[in-house]
Structure 1
Amino acid sequence: MAATMLKHFFIILCFCASSMLQAQSSSIDTNETVKDSLKRKAFIEHLGNGYFPTKYFNFDLRYLIKYNQYEALRTGLGGITNDALSKSFRINGYLVYGFGDDKFKYNAGGAYRLAKKTNTWLSASYTDDLQETGSTKFLTDKRFFQFFEPRLLNISLFHAHVTKTLGLEHQINPKLITESEFSISHIDPTYNYAYVVDNQSFSEFDISSAKFAVQWSPFSHYEDSRQGLKEVEKGFPKFTFQYTKSFKDAFKSDFNFSKFDFRTIYEFGDEKASYSQIVLVAGIANGDIPLTHLYHAYPNNINKETILQRFSVAGINSFETMYFNEFFSDKFTTLQFKHYLKPFNVSPSHKPQMVLIMRYALGSIDHPERHENITFGSLDKGYTESGFELNKLLFGFGLSFTYRYGAYHLPNIEDNIALKFTFNVTL
């Protein structure tokens, strides 16, 4: 009897041990699966932000390959150190080469974290590169990545600049981010241009300026993540403000001017069904301000004769029927309205979407006679265009149709029409 009980006890003990080992093995497998899943998710998030991550350094995909009308093919490498190397400092830079102008461009910079709680960083950089004339960038738009930047293909008006920058990022709270910058730039337009002021003609010039920007998202909700604070619930409207002041004679600066820029974005509706988006952008510049620092309305139409010759790829918030270098302003505002219809449920993986679009621009310019060797118009009569996009028809590609009407309607009907591809890919 004792032997039988011992035998049964031994069988039960072996069964319990086997069950425990299986549970432990299952737990390890589950943990490994979760870890792998998190790694894949983090990797995809990095790619979505335009980075290819490695152990200590994240390669910046924005610099791999681009094309524009001045440089033609532009290619190179760039990136930034990540938290695995240090959470207290970062080093960033890039080196690119333009085959059209046969020149290298580069940037080198670094930053040191002054306070973790407020995500306060002190940074410095040196840049020798090109910038589109008339373009305005908000400092707080720190990271904006597209796999394909369609508008860039058609840009022809650039100015070369060598810029030294000292900057400070500070987060008052998750919904209120500030960034300030002091920069010294030597600017040399790549096109035939001269700015005349006080009986002096400047074909190249120096500008020393200070910028202060604020991004306010009062209705968004944020949570901590491995990459820092992440917006988990978008709230609208969102607001961005930026003030720029240039100081004449400071570090040999040639001009004295100021700029105030504003943008607000508002969305309403259901992104899974149908929704609308309104984007309002405005800017005002006062003082002696050369063409390089004026405003355009983000035109995206090539100066060619026929519709098919102008066939290219539509931008995201650009005026598709407005020709490049057609208008410049020192005071302007643009209003863009998009209504996204509910996607067509063709199949689980194929859901094209129709977007209805209306755009309006208004602007003016003082002293256009100061800008020599270049001809452009004013937007004081109000510019309007409307159309639609049919997105994600095949492999992320779609089609757009836009028509120009109103005060700037052109005599030849074809010249008012823009027919283009669209491209939308989301990770």
Structure 2
Amino acid sequence: MQKKLLFLLLFLTTLSSFAQKEIYGMITNQETQEPLAFVNIILKNNPTQGTISDIDGKFSLSLDKEFTQLQLSYIGFETKTIEVTSNDSSIFISLKPSEEKLEEVLLNTGNPAIPIIKKVIAKREENHPENLPEFTHDYYNKVIFDLQSDGKEIDSAFNAVFKGGHILMMESITKKEFKYPRLTNETVVANKVSGFKNPIFTAIATNMQPFSFYDEVIELLDMHFLNPISKGALNKYDYKLKETLVQNNDTIHLISFEPQAGKNIEGLKGLLYINTKNYAIQNVIASPADEMKIDLKIQQQYQYLPEEVWFPEQLNYSLKLSTDVGGSNDLIIAEGKSYIRNVNLQPNLSNKDFSATVLKIDDEAPKKDSLYWQNHRVIPLNEKESITYRVVDSLGKEFKVDKIISYLNKLPQGKIPVGKFDLDITHLIRYNKHEGYRLGLGLYTNEKLIKDVELGGYFGYGFKDYKWKYGFSAKYMISKNDDIFIKAAYQDDIQEIGSYGLSLSEEIFNGLRDFMIEKVDHIQKYSFSGGFRSFKYLLTEVQLNQSKITPLNNYAFNSPDYSSSPFHHTSASIKLRYAYGERLLQTPFQKISLGTKFPVLTLQYTRGFEDVLGGDFNYQKIEARIEQNVFLKNFGKTTYRLQAGYIDQVIPRSLLFTGEGSYDDDFPIVVENTFQTMLPYEFLSDRYIDVFLSHNFGSLLFKSGKFNPEIILHHNTGWGGLSDKYTLYNFKTKEDIYLESGLELARVLKFNYLDLGYITFGAGAFYRYGSYELESFNDNIAFKLNIGFSFN
């Protein structure tokens, strides 16, 4: 009896296997052979049964008949019908691009896409994965770079060098932890890059697109685009219901979106696949609506977890850059894919598990062997990818690519590694009004000589003041994770008056203001400093200085008999910088700030000591600054800086507050966070408050074809005072309110730069009014130029 039952069970199982035939397929673009994500596939004899290809163009489908027909449809491609039989276990299908547009579904009651989108918007916060209490997951990331050329010589040369492989390929395994509302940790535990071992480019894999498509504003390439499912988007976007598909008893609506005609928004275009199960995004394809030098497209696929939550499953992006080399049309392509696995929605995380460093690379990450990668790859390497590793690795060794990458790593710091030393090229050539052109160089040890220790110095010579300058320093980085360091330094150099505390001088990249430096002191300074990070977002630095300062501008402090009397200055200071929510990227060489959406507060307290190490003055100085960039949905970006300072005693002019102006006939350039109509040293203060406010509308107010200038409004206000004890100075104070406003047009002229983007030029007009308005209209107005870079 048992044998009969067993035979019957086996018979039924076999019968069931014949009744349910599973087939697997791959869908590609007939012209480019690229996989087509999210193609609609239905059984022609049963339209309620079907599926959608995944982000890699793959699909599987169960058939209950020996013979059936599949109908495939996809926006921008010809609909195709194919026949499959029970003998087909895997099929490869290509769709032909079509010039005909798929007509949207129209009902007498109006646009049927609108009610669906309204429900998606209403459920947006509920479906947003980063509104979950916490989660962890793993990424498997793969990025490839390629070149396509219609020039036979370039194409053949490329194939000869890379032997049929890609130009570059990299893989990584990343572990991510998240805790609401915005705590994130990502650790790269494994990475592999063809041609070199340096993991610096690993961050590209997961930072080219947002983790999900639910933010109010979608950020791509440092540009901010209005999300078509955000509040207020209904009045800005056109939506069309293209198709409705039933898949596994789920109804999926395919809706296209693009900015409405005449709406000047930074918008996206693409396709949404909306699953009526909680009206969530199941798939999305999106790209910038306006033409750009870089063609960017993102694709996202979501999975429905057992916890009844929609969660990202696959994230793709492609970057295509058209270039023209030697008369041939070349296309540089970067394609990235991220597969999300091992999702855990209850990991029991603590706030203590998180730091300000949101992405760090494990020291062992580049050392994983081939067996590790075989066990962790989502998809095995294909032949072209295997060739890439084999060929490019050999090329990397031959051309010492790792050494080139190490140059690129340190170049943003102004350094070029040469063996165990770094050349500091920030001292190579400079210009200011006091020194004229200044030539020099710096040389410092790097991690190859002594890990975490930097020893070195610099020199420079001014061709207008005919003086040599130099300095030495020693720095020990005790902990990179906590930014703990100590540093000792000596310098025999010049320093601008008014720059002895929080000032523009500490903003390394504000070099335009440095051109205007004219009033300086000769300074011989010894300093000792140390710093550390605490409470995730707080940086603390303490410093002790002892200086001999000689004014070089023919003024004396309480000594009218001498045109330039030196004085000694001893001070101790503490500086606090708090940037809540700041995201940091830790590379093997440096820590890079990815910014924060919240205000950044900086506070510095300085105490001057008389008769300590020869110091001449007792005083206290307090300075504070708060600044923020605020992106307003569909309104642009507001930037503000509020700064203030106070000194309690009479001290030399060098140590007072001045230099906040940037009006200079020789350099009519817009300098951020300065008064555009004020002379650099026009006012002197021992107490002040300055407010710099600007709003950039982008191209939201005006756009006509490729002409899309940015419109920027400025308003700057300042107040300052000076003790009446300063009787020997020829100075002005701004004890009334200083006012100026301006209008700036950026990106008026655009020039193609190496087919990567555009060098842009614009102009602005600023007007000085109120208590410090000058007699002549021409003296109150300042016309200035601006220079920038843009992808569109």
Aligned to 1:366: 723
Matches within 5 A, 1:25-424: 25-29=387-391, 44=408, 46-138=410-502, 144-146=508-510, 149-196=511-558, 203-269=565-631, 274-296=636-658, 298-302=660-664, 309=665, 312-343=668-699, 352-370=709-727, 372=728, 374-392=729-747, 393-394=749-750, 395-424=759-788
Determine helix, strand or coil for the equivalent of 1:323: coil
In the aligned structure 2, how far is the partner of 1:355 from the partner of 1:38? 43
Summarize the Cα distance change of 1:293–1:377 in structure 2 as closer, same or farther, 3 Å threshold.
same
Equivalent residue of 2:669, what SS? coil
Task: State the shift of 1:73 in Å.
Answer: 1.3
Percent of pairs with identical residues: 28
Quote how far apart the aligned CAs of 1:310 are: 5.6
RMSD: 3.4
Q: 2: distance between equivalents of 1:39 and 1:218?
A: 36
Corresponding residue of 1:12: none
List runs of 5+ in structure 1 lacking aligned partners. 1-18, 303-308
SS at match of 1:76: strand
Give the distance between the partners of 1:241 and 1:271, measured in 2 at CA. 31
User: Offset of 1:94 from its aligned partner?
Assistant: 1.4
Are 1:219 and 1:237, in contact at CA under 8 Å, matched by a contact in 2?
no
Please state how far the C-alpha of 1:97 moved relative to its aligned partner.
Answer: 0.6
Contact 1:264 1:280 in 2 (8 A): yes
CA distance in 2, matches of 1:33, 1:232: 33
* AA matched with 1:129: D
Between the aligned partners of 2:628 and 2:653, the Cα distance in structure 1 is 31
Residue-by-residue CA offset, 1:201-243 (whole Å, 9 max, x unaligned) = 9821000100110111112223432234333352310111111
Task: Give the Cα–Cα distance (whole angstroms) in 2 for the partners of residues 264 and 204 of structure 1.
Answer: 34
Moved more, 92-101 or 27-36: 27-36
Aligned to 1:14: none
Deviations 1:375-419 (A, max 9, x none): 211111010111122234343443221110111001111111111
Decide whether aligned partners of structure 1 residues 184 and 347 sit closer, same or farther in structure 2, where only a CA change above 3 A counts. Answer: farther
1:93-121 CA distance string (max 9 Å, x none): 21111111100111110112334442311
**1:215–1:32 distance in 2 versus 1, CA, 3 Å:** farther
1:172/1:194 CA distance change after superposition, 3 Å? same
1:337 aligned partner, one-letter code: L
* CA distance 1:99–1:141, change in 2 (3 Å): closer
Q: SS of the counterpart of 1:100?
A: coil
Q: Cα distance, 1:157 vs. partner?
A: 0.9
In structure 2, relative to structure 1, the CA distance for the partners of 1:230 and 1:205 (3 Å cut) is: same
Query: What is the Cα deviation at residue 53 of structure 1?
Result: 4.2
Cα contact 2:556–2:562 (8 A) shared by 1 = no
Deviation at 1:143, TM superposition (A): 6.6
CA distance in 1, matches of 2:507, 2:472: 17
Deviations 1:19-76 (A, max 9, x none): 9987643333476899999987775564344334444333334322222221111121
Pair 1:173–1:89, CA change in 2 (3 A): farther
- Classify 1:160/1:38 alpha carbon distance in 2 versus 1 (closer, same or farther; 3 Å): same
Query: Does the aligned pair in 2 maintain the 1:49–1:144 contact within 8 Å?
Result: no
Q: Distance in 2 between matches of 1:260 and 1:426?
A: 39
What's the offset of the Cα at 1:186? 0.2
Give the structure with higher Rg (CA). 2
Give, in whole Å, the separation in 1 of the partners of 2:726 and 2:385: 82
Contact 2:423 2:441 in 1 (8 A): yes
Q: TM-score, structure 1 length as denominator?
A: 0.82
